[in-house]
Amino acid sequence: MTEVFINGLGLIGSSLARAIKQKDSQIKIVAADLNQHALEYAKKQKIIDEAVGSLRNAATADFIILATPVDQIIKSLHQLSKLSLKSGTIITDVGSTKQQIVAAAKTLPTQVTFISGHPMAGSHKTGVTAGRANLFENAFYFIVAPNASQVAIVKLQNLLQQLHVKWLELTPEQHDRLVGQISHLPHIIAAALVNQTQQAFINSPLGMRMAAGGFKSITRIAAADPTMWSAILQTNATIIADQLRAYQAELTKIRQAILVADQKTIYNFFASAKVSRDQLGPEKIGGLPGFYDLFINIPDRVGSIADVTRILAVKKINLVNLHILEIREEIDGILQLTFMNEKSRAAAKKILNEQHYQVITRK
Ligand SMILES: NC(=O)c1ccc[n+]([C@@H]2O[C@H](COP(=O)([O-])OP(=O)(O)OC[C@H]3O[C@@H](n4cnc5c(N)ncnc54)[C@H](O)[C@@H]3O)[C@@H](O)[C@H]2O)c1
Ligand SMILES: O=C(O)C(=O)C[C@]1(C(=O)O)C=C[C@@H](O)C=C1
């Protein structure tokens, strides 16, 4: 019988547990958490089979999932490296930063495999009661596994099959730069805006309560858990500091334009943001109907996208959407191809593989 050990049964850990049980109720889930209430609740709701005291009980597990705040994940990896674990165990984590976690995993014994993971969906809510099996549906799930075999990666993806995510492999540095910009920086901006607004209304406490949709949508994530976010910022400090500086420069630019009534700069500031934001797509990821995506690496040269669409057109494979995901300037682009159904996706995968394109999606 497959045994899964989860350390940290909050929003993310319990969502994974629910999805694993949905895939196969015979899989045994053992969990540890500092919060006894979380464990009792999970046991009662049959989200887990057994609650235990600590990581020391992970010795018989086939999979170990670390789902505590990032600083605690790093500590757990050091603890695990001193335990005698089952040979072939796959250890994974769900932490929001990767460079320090992957470095800490280097101390693990060679008979286990470490595959770092990061589901790119979640909530400002925390705890076991906020979790749900379809939290990550259609979201990206980053895999950072410089030393893992494809066989091990596929084993983990099979365990997490019910999540219905889009798998994408990144290096630790690519990962931390990417999420620094699209996740960590926005959380800092939201919290800073709430703090500054609070100060602005220090003598009129009802001021913030007057806020309508605008303030509420940009600050929803300021309600996120401070423990989790302190650990994230601490483990991605240099990258976030650079991104914050670039953001401050953008604020300085618009401040200057306002002061000198430079209407053209002000207009372009909003117009360029609107074009980019309009391309972002739907607000909600969890619960959307399934899309059939393929991700391929494309070389950074004129005509490379046209080459891909021509190959598909010759085979009469219809594309629903095509999107270039630029992760960093220096590396090749990633092209996201969306199809109407699985049959088209599979046919496209086959033909593009034959033409030596590197397909990076796994299902
Ligand atoms: N919240 C999100 O949107 C989101 C999304 C993706 C990834 N993540 C990452 O997932 C991880 C968990 O986040 P979450 O949102 O589930 O937080 P959470 O607060 O809901 O859950 C964390 C759980 O870990 C437990 N815990 C803390 N320290 C522990 C320790 N030393 N040993 C055992 N249990 C401990 C807490 O009691 C809690 O139940 C974090 O690393 C976070 O960066 C969060
Ligand atoms: O939806 C939210 O509330 C989130 O903040 C989720 C969110 C993010 O998008 O920044 C937060 C942290 C994670 O590491 C991944 C996802």
pLDDT, residue 321, reads 78
Residue 139 beta carbon below 6 angstroms from any ligand 2 atom = no
pLDDT, residue 296, reads 86
Of 181, 166, 333, the C-alpha closest to 243 is 181
Among residues 249, 278, 307, which one ends one of the domains?
A: 278
Among residues 239, 256, 278, which one ends one of the domains?
A: 278
Whether complex ipTM tops 0.90: yes
Best mutation site among 126, 135, 221, 285 for ligand 2 pocket (most ligand atoms within 8 Å of CB): 221
Q: How far is the CA of 296 from the centre of ligand 1 (A)?
A: 32
Q: Which ligand sits nearest to residue 73's alpha carbon?
A: 1
Residues of the chain with pLDDT under 70: 281-291, 325-332, 361-363
Report the chain's C-alpha Rg in angstroms.
Answer: 22
Question: Phi-psi category of 8—alpha, beta or left, where left has phi over 0 and alpha has psi -120 to 50?
Answer: left
Based on the fold, state whether residues 166 and 27 are members of the same structural domain. yes
pLDDT, residue 2, reads 97
CATH label of the domain that carries residue 82: 3.40.50.720
Dist CA 294 CA 338 (whole Å): 7
Amino acid 100 reads Q
Question: pTM for the complete prediction?
Answer: 0.82
Residue 185 lies in a domain: yes
- What is the three-class DSSP state of 305? helix
Structural domain for 227, as ranges: 175-278
Of 160, 163, 156, the C-alpha closest to 88 is 156
Dist CA 359 CA 357 (whole Å): 6
DSSP class of residue 86 equals P
Q: How many CB atoms lie within 10 A of CB 344?
A: 21
pLDDT, residue 303, reads 83
Q: Which ligand sits nearest to residue 100's alpha carbon?
A: 1
| Half-sphere exposure of residue 353: CA atoms within 13 angstroms, side-chain side | 10
Q: Per-residue pLDDT tens for 142-199?
A: 999 988 999 999 999 999 999 999 999 999 999 999 999 999 999 999 999 999 999 9
